[in-house]
């Protein structure tokens, strides 16, 4: 059994998405002791920003005429896709940045989508695999809040992971991670604690579900 784990936080110390991802991973590893975990840290070791354009250009260029950059981009897309195709379970931990999807996660997804095994419209190499998306937000964009609708990341990530990659997806969201960091949010301390506990419980529960799910055919 293999777990593929991607982290998109730009920090390694104090990262709440990594902490929630750790909870999921710990539950998965408790069931699959000693099993391999393949990791991608796209926030701290990004996919090169020009790889996607090179891979797209390569797809319209005969193999014998491709530039070195195009060959490298196609090879990287294949390597990333091999990681997804070779995993039995998938875990993505992606924070909200600037009201949208992490640029590093977007670059990663864009490059993966250039591989013929993952192209929109094809039956993806990930079809039916169990997966968990952990996402964290400094603020709170849930229904009825003043900034409801400002989270432009989660819907896109769901669209890719659930509909394009056809994963069997569970999502854990932790809001208000900036409470305790930004004094303007001090009034939400109690609520933020409740949201943290709830997210941690959900992460543990989804980690157990991820571990229990049968391998996709």
Ligand X SMILES: Cc1cc2nc3c(=O)[nH]c(=O)nc-3n(C[C@H](O)[C@H](O)[C@H](O)COP(=O)(O)O)c2cc1C
In the complex with ligand X, the residue whose CB is nearer, 9 or 126, is 9
Sign of CA dihedral 16, 20, 21, 26: positive
Taking the complex as a whole, the smallest distance from the CB of residue 8 to ligand X amounts, in Å, to 8
In the complex with ligand X, the residue whose CB is nearer, 101 or 211, is 101
Q: How far is CA 213 from the centre of its chain?
A: 19
Residue 136 interacts with ligand X (CB under 6 A)?
yes
Classified as helix, coil or strand, 48 is coil
Give the separation between CA 10 and CA 29, rounded to whole angstroms.
Answer: 25
In the complex with ligand X, the residue whose CB is nearer, 9 or 107, is 9
Residue 98 interacts with ligand X (CB under 6 A)?
yes
Residue 169 interacts with ligand X (CB under 6 A)?
no
Give the residue, chosen from 177, 188, 195, 210, that forms a contact with ligand X under the rule CB under 6 A: 177
Q: Are 70 and 57 in contact (CB under 8 A)?
A: yes
In the complex with ligand X, the residue whose CB is nearer, 107 or 137, is 137
Q: What angle do CA 26, 35, 205 make, to 5 degrees?
A: 30
Residue 97 interacts with ligand X (CB under 6 A)?
yes
Give the residue, chosen from 9, 70, 81, 107, that forms a contact with ligand X under the rule CB under 6 A: 9
Taking the complex as a whole, the smallest distance from the CB of residue 49 to ligand X amounts, in Å, to 17
Give the separation between CA 214 and CA 80, rounded to whole angstroms.
Answer: 23
Nearest residue to ligand X, by Cβ distance, number only: 138
List Cβ neighbours of 7 (8 Å cut-off, separation of 6 or more).
15, 17, 18, 21, 39, 40, 41, 42, 43, 44, 93
Binding site for ligand X (CB under 6 A): 9, 11, 15-18, 95-99, 136-139, 177-178
């Amino acid at each position: 059994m293999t777990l593929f784990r991607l982290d998109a936080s730009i920090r390694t110390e104090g990262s709440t998405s990594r902490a929630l991802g750790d909870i999921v991973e710990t539950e998965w590893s408790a069931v699959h002791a000693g099993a391999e975990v393949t990791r991608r840290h796209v926030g701290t070791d990004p996919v090169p920003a020009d790889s996607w354009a090179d891979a797209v250009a390569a797809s319209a260029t005969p193999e014998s005429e491709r530039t070195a950059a195009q060959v490298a981009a196609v090879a990287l897309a294949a390597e990333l896709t091999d990681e997804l195709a070779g995993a039995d379970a998938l875990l993505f931990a992606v924070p909200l940045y600037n009201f949208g999807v992490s640029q590093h996660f977007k670059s990663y997804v864009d490059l993966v989508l250039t591989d013929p095994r993952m192209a929109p419209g094809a039956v993806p190499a990930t079809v039916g695999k169990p997966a968990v998306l952990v996402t964290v937000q400094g603020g709170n964009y849930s229904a009825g809040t003043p900034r409801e609708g400002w989270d432009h990341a989660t819907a896109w990530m769901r669209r890719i992971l659930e509909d394009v990659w056809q994963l069997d997806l569970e999502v854990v969201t932790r809001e208000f991670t900036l409470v305790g960091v930004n004094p303007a949010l001090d009034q939400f301390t109690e609520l933020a604690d409740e949201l943290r506990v709830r997210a941690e419980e959900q992460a543990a529960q989804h980690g157990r579900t991820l571990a229990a799910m049968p391998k996709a055919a």
